Amino acid sequence: MNVFRPGLLMVALASFGLLTLGLGDGMLGVAWPSISAGAGVPLSALGLLVPVFAAAYITVALASGRLSDWLGVGGILIAGAALLAAGLLVFAASSNWGLLLTSAWIAGMGGGALDSGFNTYAAERLGIRATNWIHAFYGVGAVTGPSVMTGLLVWGRPWQTGYVISATVAGVLALGILASRRGWRINGPSNSPGASLPTASSRSGIWLGAALFAVCTGLEVSAGQWTFTLLTVGRGFTVASAGAWVAAYFAGFTAGRILVGTLPIRVPAQKVLRACTVASLLSAGLLWLNLGAASSLIGVVGLGLFLGPVFPSLVATTRARIGEGSTSSAIGFQLAAAGAGGMIVPAGVGVALAVGGFEAIASSIVGAAAALAALHEIAARRSHRLSSRGAPSV
């Protein structure tokens, strides 16, 4: 159990926190037709609601270094859980479009604060195994959210009930963090006043980390959003079979994180990342080569399984990339870059599709996977130069 050196309570609360984030995120797609009908807005209005949430999330993530100096990690987490609960409750009570947008902004601020706080704590206090473990629970929440909302709608309950449940869960999280607030203290350089300000030696590492997170998240989202179109319209798969394999892609995310989180041996974090990024590239290559249905499907599932551990493993190795100090600023900057990459890269795949046809989707996924593997190798060499700190290991 030495993987949980900071204490099982902190790891359990962090896991519950990421499950809470996934729960709310997962409900929106199922609830949206009912929400749009009640608010009198077209279905396409989701294209405005999601960016409002993302903009609030990115704003708070970028400010997380300063907020960490002011409030501490525990304070950020308490504020984030309270804002998320409030935003979800306002969302449930909203009857017009303006209130929906306002509540999305409040919830986005809460989500950005929670994500930044938990990941700063993980980067400072947890190893790669525990960080993968807590991130696996985001996937659990993202699967649970649609299931809960679907069940409520099937049983004739209003969509608002799902968001009241999600807000209640966030409220319980806030109380749990408040009760354990002393446990979230970080005894290290990022906890001292002004340490969130990046030094000249850490700036290049922060920018490198931002590029890694942008490409990683962009690849994750692109594969999830565009693979169904590639398989059905581009390659003639049935809707049922393509849908099942895309679901397997998302299930692979959680499975990969659980596997790394429960590894029985200590493996250097950089070796885990190298294995996952190279295997992701090979999986993308199988999808791109289009050697037959079996190879395409192995590629889809492999992408999910091997990409899943990359994001949390990159969080856990933040200090190895940037050296001492600036961890909270680096985490916030990386999460903001991840949010931007999750919007920009899939849009770029759409442009490639318009120019080059359906197979350009697979080519774009391979290109992003190759960029991720290359960026990791650059980061690994930088970490080696900063080896006096020691790379986090499993």
Query: What's the CATH code of the domain at 324?
Result: 1.20.1250.20
The reply to whether 393 falls in a domain is: no
Do residue 42 and residue 163 come from a single domain? yes
Tens of pLDDT, residues 288-331: 998 888 888 899 999 999 999 999 999 988 887 776 656 777 88
Q: What are phi and psi of 324, to 5 degrees?
A: -70, 140
Residue finishing a domain among 160, 191, 222: 191
- 351: exposed, middle or buried (Cβ count in 10 Å: 0-12, 13-18, 19+): exposed
Same domain, 331 and 206: yes
**One domain for residues 16 and 150:** yes
Domain check: are 17 and 110 in the same one? yes
- State whether 186 and 280 are in the same domain: no
- What pLDDT, on a 0 to 100 scale, did the predictor assign at position 169? 95
Q: Residue 359 and residue 300: Cα distance in Å, rounded? A: 14
* Residue at 350 is within a domain: yes
> Per residue in 222-271, pLDDT tens?
888 788 888 888 888 888 888 888 888 888 888 999 999 887 777 788 88
Q: Which bin fits 197, alpha (ψ -120 to 50), beta or left (φ > 0)? A: beta
Same domain, 156 and 30: yes
Residues 297 and 367 occupy one common structural domain = yes
Say if CB 170 and CB 20 are below 8 A apart: yes
307 compared with 64, residue with greater pLDDT: 307
- This prediction has a pTM of 0.82
Full residue range of the structural domain in which residue 21 is found? 2-191
Work out the pLDDT band at 202, boundaries 50, 70, 90: low
Helices (H), 126-238: 128-154, 159-179, 200-229
Per residue in 368-390, is it b (16+ CB within 10 Å) or e — as a string?
A: bbbbbbebbeebbebbeebeeee
Domain boundary among 145, 162, 191: 191
Same domain, 169 and 240: no
